[in-house]
Structure 1
Amino acid sequence: MTVLRGPRGFGKTTALVEWLTGEDDGVPTVYVPLDEGSRLAPGFWATLRAALTAADLDGYDSREAEDDADRAAVLGALLRHEEPLRLIVDNYHEAGHLDGRSEIDDELLELVRSSAALELVVSTRSLRALETTGALSVDLTVVRPADLAMQAEDVLALAQRHGVTMTVDEAAELAMELGGWPAAVRTCVAAAVVGGHQAAVDPGTVDGFIEALLADVRSTALREFLMRTAIPDEFSAAAARAIVPDGTALRELRNLRVGGLLRERETVDGLRYAYPPAIRDALRRVSLELHPHLEREVHIALMALAAQEEGPVGVLRHAVRAQEWDTALRIIEEEWSTLLTQHPHRLIELAGAFPREIADGDPRLQVIRRHLPRMAPSAETEVSEWTPTGAHFVDAAVRQRWQEMQETTDEVHILIQSGLAAVFAGEQEAAAYAFERVRDHGVRHDDRTARLLGIGGMLTAKTFHGETDLALRLLEDEELADVIAGGDDDEVSRLVRVGGRIMRAIATIDGMRPEVHEAVADIVEPGRRDELWALAIHARGLYASVYGTPEDQARAVGQLRAALRHLEPGGIAESTIGTQLVELLVAGGMVDVAEQVLDRLVDGFVSSSTRAYLLHAQGREQEAIDVAARDLGDRRMTARSRLINELIIAAALFRLGQGTAARRRFARGVRIAYETGQRRPFALISPEIFGALAGNDPELLALRPLPSTTEAQRTQPLPSAPAVPSELSARELQVLAALQDSAGPAGVAAALGMSVNTAKTHLRHVYRKLGASSRDEALVLSRGLGGERR
């Protein structure tokens, strides 16, 4: 038995004709095309009986059967026929379509089982029990839609026969767009012949083909399914149930899939179904012309499902396509951080679909259009892997500003939110861009809040990214320095002061600057246990890793463990705290515990340097090299992590006896250190390896400004303030020079062109660093320090 199954226009009849034309085996053949008269069982048997009578086959006595029922006559005659016979039933989907299909399938299947001489061939558009049950008991060959579909070589041969010029690529494109649908392909090639142009998908031609297809579909449920499921690009079984809610969705989905009209593909989210592109486009055009409301209905129905399957971006996509603009704007507002960091390219695309009058009046859409293309990663695949973090610590600081403006969402506010979202997504370049726009606004409009939050955000982004020299240069801004030192006490100033001191501490630790001890001592721990609080803990952990005694490091481990319990899982803050904890555990010899902690963190560019560090500590040098090298090309990797990775590779190569290669990698790390000001990572490799790689070069040895052995350093307690006078910055030296000719802050301010408050701030720093309590004492001590420098 042979079954040819495929939708209308898939060339089943053509295949039969070609096969019979080429077949010359002498077996008598009876061809029976069915029509609407066979939709009831009696009509089917009558049609079959008439065909056998016309064939006048041996063993069939029409007079004997004349008074018998058609079914009994047909079955009796075929069972008595002992000679080979080929019976071809075309359009078998009509057989018993309205009533009796199961009985017809069972009777024919029993006939094939009982008659060794009968060869049955059926051509059908639908899956029948004749095929499914028959496979269990008879020798069955099934020609499926995929077997009947035209491939590129078939399209090319067809075009050549009609004198149409076509390349292999063009033939493959046409076959793909139409799903290899033979009738559609032939129609497009014929249109090219008539029009004298290249063979390609002709929308008008395909639309006409689809109109005929829909008119030919007798099932109202199937027609509705076709029109509705062509609206989305692709759909799941759950989506089909949502947009075709009459309970027939799964049945029609099965019919179309086995019929070859739907493509099926496996995704990480399960099976997805789609029509061939040109067929889907034609279905959409025809159905929307007939039912203009259909697209909106379908996308509204899909919004609830998208919330479960795709998250906010899916809901937004369907809201935009349904032109539910209020809903779409609400989703953008409520899910801003998620959409901005995890779906920036889709957000840009969807924002472009809003009507101009809406886009011009909404600040978030304006930020998307004006700024997001500059902030988004270059490739859509390079999106954040982190759980978005709500910047709760900013809300209180900025609330008063926007209440006074009687506006809750201006463009500057949204840029601040965007910058913070980018910081906690690991997109520091994007964050720096957003905060620079905020600062620019503050400068142009004399807006102190925008200036402070802008430069504070830039400081955060540069510090996070490990650009130490740039971060320390930003800290020289007079207005920022004044606030950090303890200037005004409004909400914004308090936020900038707390955050700025934490960033200053991290930057000075990264750079191993002389003022690091004072910077760490100046950290003010935030009252709320959020991401900002965790960063303060992180700063102290970084400090302990380089300058702390074993007791200090153990205390930092406890603080970091406590911080992890308060952070949202899956966020970049958790990975930052977790990797610092791992580093301290390794330093304390608890390598196994460190590995357990690291295994619970998100595996990505933040943790790869720590993974390499751990493997190096375990003596697994080649694995350490492989992990360290893996993410070095990630543009999001911080300068801090890049330097650690380069140094771990160098140290691992040195241990493997590859000294020349180790020095080359060490040189790459040195370049990163000079470019960024990073120094702390040099303290993470053993003093012996560092000494061997640095040699006797004083400049290279200066990259690790620690005592010659770690043990000697760690015999000193962790200081809460500088043990010796810290080096004065260039600006502070200028303040000292001005102080010689001035009686106090007012004179210094006038001499240097700064505010009195800023002069007071610098003088406090100078007095503290020198250990002085008065102007005269400071001048005496500064002369002493000057002599030491000389």
Structure 2
Amino acid sequence: MLPEQRERATARGSRPQGLPVQPAAPAREAMPETDRAHRTLARAIAAQDWERAIEALDARPVELLCDHFSVVCDFFARVPAESLHGRPALALARAFLVGLPAADGAAPTEPIEPPTLRDRLVPALTQVISLRVSGRLEEAEAVAAQAQQLIPEPRYGGRHDDMLALVRFEWGILRLLRGDMLAAAEDFRVAARAARRSGIDALARGATGDLALVLALRGDLGAARELLDEADARPERGGRLEQLSRTGRIVARSLAALAELDVDAAAKALDGLDSIDDVRVREELWAFVEIARAQLAVVRGDTLAALHRLEAQVASHPATCGRGAYLRAVVGCAQVDLLLALGQGDRARAVLRDVPGTIAAMETARGTASAVRLRRARLELLTGDAAAARTRAVSLTHTSGVHPRYLLDALLIEAVAEHRVGDAAAALVALTRAVDLAGSQELVHPFVLVPSAELREIAATADVATAAPATARAMRWLEDLLDSPVLRAHGDALPSRIDVVDLSERECAVLVELASTPSLDLVAARLFVSPNTVKSQVRSLYRKLGVHSRDDALVVAYRTGVLVG
């Protein structure tokens, strides 16, 4: 080997030919800081070295809480209360996580103001979670709003990014449950950025997935799909935080698939909920899970089982789904969809009537008004009041700021309603707008919720040869869609017409008694009226139901939803 070759070989780190090569020592992989803190914490717990354990927990609190939750709970279950004296953040965390009283007697919902920013946020976070999981959403939001003032701006310091990410993520979930979608979206955006800066991939993935859920619920499917792809780009590491971040992504993925009528993908996405072991994590977003299940059930036709499941879920969540609660209105809309698919117009009308005024007052600000108004328009259309359906739909289609999904639904209802009242030109305009919106959003699911035959009739009124280019293009797109295998397989998910029965309050009471009382005399006694009065009410009831016997009346009442078994 020439000298210059030897020099170049040495510079590259190789050795001259003919000399033995020593095997390189294997590079020692640096232990991630979270794993180092976890090992230190576990050893300190075993040695009952509580000061050392507290130092380890202080070093990586967010990651340890999320990725090594059982070890953190073990610490709080075994650490003596006096060791946490003067550390109110840890005392409150202990009270929340393992149910043991704090050393200073503070309860998880009592306000505490430690000196530092980080120590102020930890108890506020604990309070918010404690109140939220117990269903006290208004109180939790008040605490969150007060704590929000502690943060001067989203990027307030790199060393606090981990805490900022977790705080804003939890704030976002709270606001999602309260229906404040705009605030929830901003919280999730800030949480995702802060989590990425601090290297907490699972939390960044969770915030991104929940932001995708917000967008999917609003009907912004293109943006939701991009976020889901971003969240799925990096492999999961496992741990509780991954489970915490999974539910929103699962529901968003299902809604995005269902928007394109990819029913198998939507069902497969929801099957992923079984991978979440922590029941509390899985259950907190239960209402949005049920929305996805209901939409899928309407398309697949298994609506009765989905309705029973939904009603059982409502009954098991009285704190967050009572009268006046945002989630009650949201779940009520899903319930109406299932009832309409079953042809039970009377029950659907009763559910919409039950939506209390407090919901109506906050719907405008929180975006729920469109969902409720849309169901009312659909009910009017299906029960034969096309004029009322048109008026209600137009109030949505000519209002700015309506979410794309609700706008598309309303445009299709407007088109069919205009067709039924005989205004062919207006029907064609509404249908053209609907097709343009559907193409831009890749959103075809609403087309199975209106009669496809009537859509064809409206499209046939357009002379494609002489129509405006936009109208001709839209009608060709619609024809291809209606002839596609997916629309032929899942089209007309709702009946084209639904019968409803307008019974008086007294007639309803008589009907209920007929279901369980053997004689009219006994019915009269139970209602404190004369037998002749009951007979008159029964005749009126039979006439309205179109029957001539008690048994036929009960059959019709159960089928239409006037009676519920």
State the TM-score, normalized to the length of structure 1.
0.38
Q: Which residue in the other structure is 1:574 paired with?
A: 328
Q: Which residue in the other structure is 1:488 paired with?
A: 237
How far off its partner does 1:428 sit?
2.7
Q: Assess if the C-alpha contact under 8 Å between 2:207 and 2:245 holds in 1.
A: no
Worse-superposed segment, 611-620 or 694-703: 694-703
Q: Assess if the C-alpha contact under 8 Å between 2:175 and 2:181 holds in 1.
A: yes
The one-letter amino acid paired with 1:554 is L
Q: 1:343 & 1:692 partners in 2: Cα distance?
A: 56
Structure 1 gaps of 5+ residues are 1-315, 317-325, 352-362, 373-404, 715-790
Q: Tell me: CA distance 1:591–1:537, structure 2 relative to 1, closer, same or farther (3 Å).
A: same
Q: Tell me: CA distance 1:622–1:579, structure 2 relative to 1, closer, same or farther (3 Å).
A: same
Query: Does 2:206 align with 1:453?
Result: yes
Q: 1:573 & 1:678 partners in 2: Cα distance?
A: 25
How far off its partner does 1:667 sit?
2.1
- The alignment's C-alpha RMSD in Å is 3.8
Q: Which residue in the other structure is 2:406 paired with?
A: 641
Q: Which residue in the other structure is 2:415 paired with?
A: 650
Q: Which residue in the other structure is 1:593 paired with?
A: 347
Residue 451 of structure 1 aligns to a residue whose secondary structure is: helix
Q: Which residue in the other structure is 1:701 paired with?
A: 479
Q: Which residue in the other structure is 1:364 paired with?
A: 148
Q: 1:516 & 1:472 partners in 2: Cα distance?
A: 13
Counterpart pick for 2:189 among 415, 436, 442: 436
Q: 2:149 & 2:376 partners in 1: Cα distance?
A: 40
Q: Which residue in the other structure is 2:511 paired with?
A: none
Pairing of 1:51-200 with structure 2 (within 5 A): none
Q: Which residue in the other structure is 1:508 paired with?
A: 257
Q: Tell me: CA distance 1:488–1:333, structure 2 relative to 1, closer, same or farther (3 Å).
A: closer
Q: Tell me: CA distance 1:521–1:457, structure 2 relative to 1, closer, same or farther (3 Å).
A: closer
Residue 273 of structure 2 aligns to a residue whose secondary structure is: coil
Q: Assess if the C-alpha contact under 8 Å between 1:456 and 1:499 holds in 2.
A: yes
The one-letter amino acid paired with 2:377 is A
Residue 149 of structure 2 aligns to a residue whose secondary structure is: helix
Q: Assess if the C-alpha contact under 8 Å between 2:189 and 2:207 holds in 1.
A: yes
Query: Does 2:432 align with 1:667?
Result: yes
The one-letter amino acid paired with 1:364 is Q
Q: Assess if the C-alpha contact under 8 Å between 1:364 and 1:411 holds in 2.
A: no
Counterpart pick for 2:452 among 661, 670, 687: 687
Q: Tell me: CA distance 1:447–1:712, structure 2 relative to 1, closer, same or farther (3 Å).
A: closer
Q: Tell me: CA distance 1:332–1:475, structure 2 relative to 1, closer, same or farther (3 Å).
A: closer
Q: Which residue in the other structure is 1:421 paired with?
A: 174
Q: Tell me: CA distance 1:463–1:341, structure 2 relative to 1, closer, same or farther (3 Å).
A: farther
Q: Assess if the C-alpha contact under 8 Å between 1:643 and 1:669 holds in 2.
A: yes
Counterpart pick for 1:559 among 309, 312, 335: 309
Q: Tell me: CA distance 1:709–1:408, structure 2 relative to 1, closer, same or farther (3 Å).
A: closer
How far off its partner does 1:639 sit?
2.3
Q: 1:340 & 1:674 partners in 2: Cα distance?
A: 41
Q: Assess if the C-alpha contact under 8 Å between 2:162 and 2:200 holds in 1.
A: no
Q: Assess if the C-alpha contact under 8 Å between 2:192 and 2:204 holds in 1.
A: yes
Q: Tell me: CA distance 1:436–1:635, structure 2 relative to 1, closer, same or farther (3 Å).
A: farther
How far off its partner does 1:427 sit?
3.4
Q: 1:342 & 1:628 partners in 2: Cα distance?
A: 36
Structure 2 gaps of 5+ residues are 1-110, 112-119, 364-368, 465-474, 495-565
Greater C-alpha Rg: 1
How far off its partner does 1:615 sit?
1.0
Q: Which residue in the other structure is 1:263 paired with?
A: none
- Residue by residue, what CA displacement relative to the aligned partner does 1:297-333 show, whole Å, maximum 9, x if unpaired? xxxxxxxxxxxxxxxxxxx9xxxxxxxxx9xx98996
Pairing of 1:314-353 with structure 2 (within 5 A): 338=138
Q: Which residue in the other structure is 1:412 paired with?
A: 165
Q: 2:219 & 2:177 partners in 1: Cα distance?
A: 14
- Aligned residues with identical type, % of pairs: 21
- Residue by residue, what CA displacement relative to the aligned partner does 1:206-248 show, whole Å, maximum 9, x if unpaired? xxxxxxxxxxxxxxxxxxxxxxxxxxxxxxxxxxxxxxxxxxx
Q: Which residue in the other structure is 1:211 paired with?
A: none
Q: Assess if the C-alpha contact under 8 Å between 2:206 and 2:248 holds in 1.
A: no
Q: Which residue in the other structure is 1:727 paired with?
A: none
Q: 1:693 & 1:699 partners in 2: Cα distance?
A: 14
Judging by fraction of residues, say which structure has more helix. 2
How far off its partner does 1:435 sit?
1.4
How far off its partner does 1:464 sit?
1.6
Q: Assess if the C-alpha contact under 8 Å between 1:463 and 1:506 holds in 2.
A: yes
Residue 249 of structure 2 aligns to a residue whose secondary structure is: helix
Q: Number of residue pairs matched?
A: 331
Pairing of 1:21-36 with structure 2 (within 5 A): none
Pairing of 1:190-269 with structure 2 (within 5 A): none
Q: Assess if the C-alpha contact under 8 Å between 1:647 and 1:685 holds in 2.
A: yes
How far off its partner does 1:638 sit?
3.1
How far off its partner does 1:563 sit?
1.8
Q: Tell me: CA distance 1:468–1:693, structure 2 relative to 1, closer, same or farther (3 Å).
A: farther
Q: Tell me: CA distance 1:573–1:480, structure 2 relative to 1, closer, same or farther (3 Å).
A: farther
How far off its partner does 1:543 sit?
0.9
How far off its partner does 1:561 sit?
1.4
The one-letter amino acid paired with 1:442 is A
The one-letter amino acid paired with 1:656 is V
Q: Which residue in the other structure is 2:224 paired with?
A: 471
Q: Assess if the C-alpha contact under 8 Å between 2:254 and 2:269 holds in 1.
A: yes
Q: Assess if the C-alpha contact under 8 Å between 2:393 and 2:410 holds in 1.
A: yes
Higher relative contact order (CA 8 A, sep 6+): 2
How far off its partner does 1:538 sit?
2.3
Q: 1:632 & 1:417 partners in 2: Cα distance?
A: 34
How far off its partner does 1:520 sit?
4.4
Q: Assess if the C-alpha contact under 8 Å between 1:650 and 1:665 holds in 2.
A: yes
How far off its partner does 1:690 sit?
2.0
Q: Which residue in the other structure is 1:355 paired with?
A: none
Q: Tell me: CA distance 1:512–1:539, structure 2 relative to 1, closer, same or farther (3 Å).
A: same
The one-letter amino acid paired with 2:346 is D
How far off its partner does 1:562 sit?
1.3
